[in-house]
C-alpha cells in the first residue's frame, strides 16, 4: 500500500531489505528540501525570523517523537545520529558511572553489534561480567529464562525489542517489571521494533530506548535516545561543546544547559530531524496498527510459499515481525543475493551485524528478507518464483 508515495518504487527494483533501511516518501524529502531552500539557518539562535522557524520545526519533531512513543516529558527525547550513538551514550554516559567491578550486564546472542560492543568495552573497562539469556527452541526469550539468568550481580538487561535476524519480539513489559523489582535497569534497542508497531514507553516502563529514523521512512543520520527523566539527568554528556553549555569561564567553571539540549552538543542534523518529524506524521497517518497488520499478513503469505520449497531452510519460522531469514540448501547466502540482484531484487546476505547469532541458531550466515508495508504479494511471488528453481540459481549466480 501507499506505493505511489515513494520515488524509489518508480525504479525497477523489488526492495526487501527494510531491516537495513527503509525507503523515504516524497513528503519527507520535500520537508527537508523546504528547510534547505527556504529557512536554512542554524538552530538555537532565534534572533531572526528564519532561525526562529528552525527552532519551531526542530522542536516540533521532538514533540512528535514524544507523542509517537508516549513519553511523559519532552525532555526525555534526545536527538542523536542513530541507534548506535544512542546505545553508546547510554553505556558510556550513564552505566560507565553506575556499574562497578563484578556487576553483570545481561544480553542475548541474537543482539546486533550495537547492543553488544558498547557493553563488551564497558565490561572490560570496569571489570563487569556479560551474561546471556538463553533462547527457547524457536529462538524466543521466555520469562522463565530471564528469571533463571538474573543473578544478584545483574544490574542491567539490554535487549532488542525485536531482533534483526530472527525478528522475535521480546516481552519487554514483563521483563521490565521483573527487572525493576530487583533494581535492575532495562535498556531497549528499538531499531527493528519502533518502525513496525505501536510503542508506549510508559506502559512498557523501560528505562532507556534507542531507535533510528532511517528505518522508519525518515532520513539517515538521525536517531533518538529516550530515557526516563531522572536517569537522563544523571547521564553525563559524551560530547562537550557548543549549544549544550550555559556558560563557562577561563577558570574551567562550566555550567551546562538543562535536558535535552545538554545532550545535543554541536549543530544537530537539523534537516534530518525536521524530515524525521514528517516521517512520523506520515506513519501515524497510515496507522501503526495497520502497518503491523499489513507486514504480518505479507509475512504469512511469504512463509506459506517458502515452506513448500524443499531446498529452502527457513531459520525463523516463528516471528512477530516482517523478517524472514532463509538459506538455500548447499548455496552460500551471498551467492543467492547476487543471483536475486540480477533480477533487481534487493535482499541482504550475511550475518547482519549479529556476529554471535551462530550461538543462537547454529547458522552464521543467511539471506534476510525484511518486509515493510509498501511491499506487495506480487513482489513476494516474483521472489518465490526465482528461489523455487535451484538449478536456475546454480546456473545464474556467478
Query: Which residues are identified as catalytic?
Result: 353
For residue 351, state whether it binds another protein (rule: CB under 8 A).
yes
Q: How far is the CB of 115 from another protein (least distance, A)?
A: 20
Q: Which stretch binds another protein (CB under 8 A): 3-11, 117-125, 230-238, 349-357?
A: 349-357
CA diameter of the chain: 74
Q: How far is the CB of 392 from another protein (least distance, A)?
A: 13
Q: Which three cell numbers stand for residue 392?
A: 536456475
Taking a C-beta distance cutoff of 8 angstroms, is the pair 68, 280 a contact?
Answer: yes
Among 330, 362, 378, 391, binds another protein (CB under 8 A): 330
The C-alpha atoms of residue 350 and residue 334 are separated, in whole angstroms, by 7
| Sheet with strand 348-350: strands edge to edge | 312-314, 323-328, 366-370, 348-350
Among 303, 349, 386, 387, binds another protein (CB under 8 A): 349
The C-alpha atoms of residue 94 and residue 227 are separated, in whole angstroms, by 10
Task: Return the H-helix or E-strand segment holding 85.
Answer: helix 83-89
Q: How far is the CB of 382 from another protein (least distance, A)?
A: 23
Q: How far is the CB of 352 from another protein (least distance, A)?
A: 10
Q: How far is the CB of 283 from another protein (least distance, A)?
A: 32
Q: Where are the beta strands (DSSP E) in 200-359?
A: 208-212, 223-227, 245-248, 254-256, 312-314, 323-328, 345-346, 348-350
For residue 398, state whether it binds another protein (rule: CB under 8 A).
yes
Q: How far is the CB of 113 from another protein (least distance, A)?
A: 14
* Site residue total, another protein (CB under 8 A): 14
For residue 333, state whether it binds another protein (rule: CB under 8 A).
yes
For residue 364, state whether it binds another protein (rule: CB under 8 A).
yes
Q: Which stretch binds another protein (CB under 8 A): 90-98, 154-162, 303-311, 390-398?
A: 390-398
Q: Which residues contact 131 (CB under 8 A, 6 or more apart)?
A: 104, 105, 106, 107, 149, 151, 154
Q: Which stretch binds another protein (CB under 8 A): 116-124, 154-162, 173-181, 327-335?
A: 327-335
Site for another protein in 213-272 (CB under 8 A): none
Among 98, 120, 338, 343, binds another protein (CB under 8 A): 338
Among 2, 365, 376, 388, binds another protein (CB under 8 A): 365
Taking a C-beta distance cutoff of 8 angstroms, is the pair 370, 193 a contact?
Answer: no
CA angle 131, 132, 135 (to 5 degrees): 160
The C-alpha atoms of residue 21 and residue 156 are separated, in whole angstroms, by 28
For residue 335, state whether it binds another protein (rule: CB under 8 A).
yes
Q: Which three cell numbers stand for residue 37?
A: 531552500
CB-based burial label for 198 (10 Å; 0-12, 13-18, 19+): middle
| Cross-strand bridge partners of residue 208 | 187, 227
- CB nearer to another protein: give 60 or 365: 365
- CB nearer to another protein: give 114 or 366: 366
Where do contacts with another protein occur on this chain (CB under 8 A)?
330, 332-335, 338, 349-351, 364-365, 394, 397-398
Amino acid at each position: 500500500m501507499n506505493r505511489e508515495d515513494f520515488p524509489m518504487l518508480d525504479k525497477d527494483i523489488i526492495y526487501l531489505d527494510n531491516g537495513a533501511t527503509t525507503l523515504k516518501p516524497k513528503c519527507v524529502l520535500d520537508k527537508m528540501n523546504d528547510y534547505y531552500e527556504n529557512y536554512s539557518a542554524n538552530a538555537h539562535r532565534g534572533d531572526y525570523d528564519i532561525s526562529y522557524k528552525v527552532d519551531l520545526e526542530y522542536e516540533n519533531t521532538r514533540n512528535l517523537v514524544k507523542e509517537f512513543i508516549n513519553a511523559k516529558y519532552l525532555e526525555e527525547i534526545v536527538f542523536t545520529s542513530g541507534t548506535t550513538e544512542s546505545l553508546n551514550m547510554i553505556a558510556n554516559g550513564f552505566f560507565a558511572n553506575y556499574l562497578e567491578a563484578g556487576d553483570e550486564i545481561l544480553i542475548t546472542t541474537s543482539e546486533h553489534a550495537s547492543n553488544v560492543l558498547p557493553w563488551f568495552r564497558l565490561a572490560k573497562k570496569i571489570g563487569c561480567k556479560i551474561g546471556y539469556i538463553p533462547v527457547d527452541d524457536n529462538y524466543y526469550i521466555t520469562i522463565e529464562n530471564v528469571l533463571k539468568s538474573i543473578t544478584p550481580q545483574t544490574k542491567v538487561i539490554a535487549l532488542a525489542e525485536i531482533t534483526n535476524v530472527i525478528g522475535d519480539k521480546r516481552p519487554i513489559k514483563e521483563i521490565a517489571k521483573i527487572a525493576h523489582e530487583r533494581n535492575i535497569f532495562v535498556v531497549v534497542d528499538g531499531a527493528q521494533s519502533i518502525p513496525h508497531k505501536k510503542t508506549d514507553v510508559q506502559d512498557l516502563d523501560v528505562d532507556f530506548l534507542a531507535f533510528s529514523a532511517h528505518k522508519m521512512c525518515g532520513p539517515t543520520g538521525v536517531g533518538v535516545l529516550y530515557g526516563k527523566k531522572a536517569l537522563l539527568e544523571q547521564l553525563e554528556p559524551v560530547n562537550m561543546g557548543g549549544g549544550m553549555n550555559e556558560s563557562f569561564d577561563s577558570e574551567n567553571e562550566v555550567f551546562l544547559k538543562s535536558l535535552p539540549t545538554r545532550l545535543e552538543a554541536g549543530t544537530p542534523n537539523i534537516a534530518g530531524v525536521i524530515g524525521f518529524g514528517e516521517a512520523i506524521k506520515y506513519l501515524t497517518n497510515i496507522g501503526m496498527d495497520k502497518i503491523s497488520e499489513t507486514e504480518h499478513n505479507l509475512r504469512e503469505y511469504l512463509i506459506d510459499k517458502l515452506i513448500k520449497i524443499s531446498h529452502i531452510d527457513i531459520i525463523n519460522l516463528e516471528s512477530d515481525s516482517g523478517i524472514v531469514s532463509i538459506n538455500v540448501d548447499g548455496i552460500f547466502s551471498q551467492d543467492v543475493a547476487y543471483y536475486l540482484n540480477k533480477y533487481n531484487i534487493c535482499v541482504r546476505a550475511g550475518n547482519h551485524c549479529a556476529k554471535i547469532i551462530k550461538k543462537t541458531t547454529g547458522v552464521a550466515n543467511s539471506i534476510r528478507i525484511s518486509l515493510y508495508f509498501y511491499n506487495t504479494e506480487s513482489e513476494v511471488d516474483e521472489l518465490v518464483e526465482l528461489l523455487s528453481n535451484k538449478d536456475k540459481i546454480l546456473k545464474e549466480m556467478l
